[in-house]
Amino acid sequence: SAVISQKPSRDICQRGTSLTIQCQVDSQVTMMFWYRQQPGQSLTLIATANQGSEATYESGFVIDKFPISRPNLTFSTLTVSNMSPEDSSIYLCSAGTSGRGETQYFGPGTRLLVL
């Protein structure tokens, strides 16, 4: 298993600004992912954070809006750029482990409100 922490846990931001969310894993993992979730709803994958190379984005998400860094096997950041109220959401990072199934462990999430 993996223990994941995220910072900040919540934030209130003004439109047009940017916020960087940090994700730290307590062990080296091959795969890290970033998701977005509306309260009470399912998760939408934003991108796969690749160590040492550019992130792989899902349809509907672009690097200019959600730049991602992954400098090593335990750390990643997601920036929400030029924010609008529509970006208000919960942002979650996860770490993927293989072995018995492709299991992902999730951080506690960052609750973002854009005014």
Partner 1 sequence: TQLLEQSPQFLSIQEGENLTVYCNSSSVFSSLQWYRQEPGEGPVLLVTVVTGGEVKKLKRLTFQFGDARKDSSLHITAAQPGDTGLYLCAGARAGGTSYGKLTFGQGTILTVHP
What are the residues binding partner 1 (CB under 8 A)?
A: 1, 4, 30-31, 33, 39-43, 45, 48, 92, 96, 98, 100-109, 111
What Cα–Cα distance (Å) separates residue 65 from each residue in 27, 28, 112?
28, 27, 15
Contacts of 101 (CB under 8 A, 6+ apart): none
Residue 6 or 77 having the CB closest to partner 1:
6
For partner 1, the closer CB: 85 or 101: 101
Shortest distance (Å) from residue 62 CB to partner 1: 18
Nearest to 47 by CA among 68, 30, 22, 73: 68
Q: By C-beta, is 14 or 101 nearer to partner 1?
A: 101
At its nearest, how many Å lie between partner 1 and the CB of residue 107?
A: 5
